[in-house]
Amino acid sequence: MRLVSFHTEDGPAAAVQLGEDLVPVSTLDAPSTTVRGLLAALDAEGMRELQRRAEHEQASARIPLADVTLHAPIADPQKIICLGLNYLTADSASLTFHCVMVPPAHRLPGECVVARAFRGTEP
In tens, the pLDDT along 68-102 reads 999 988 877 776 665 555 555 555 555 555 555 55
Higher pLDDT, 116 or 13: 13
- Give the pLDDT confidence score for residue 80 in this predicted structure: 64
User: What band does 122 get if pLDDT is binned at 50, 70 and 90?
Assistant: very low
d(CA 48, CA 53): 9
The CA–CA distances, whole Å, from 44 to 17, 38, 49, 52, 53 equal 17, 11, 9, 13, 14
Q: Nearest Cα to 33, choosing from 8, 10, 15?
A: 15
The CA–CA distances, whole Å, from 104 to 16, 53, 64, 101 equal 25, 33, 29, 9
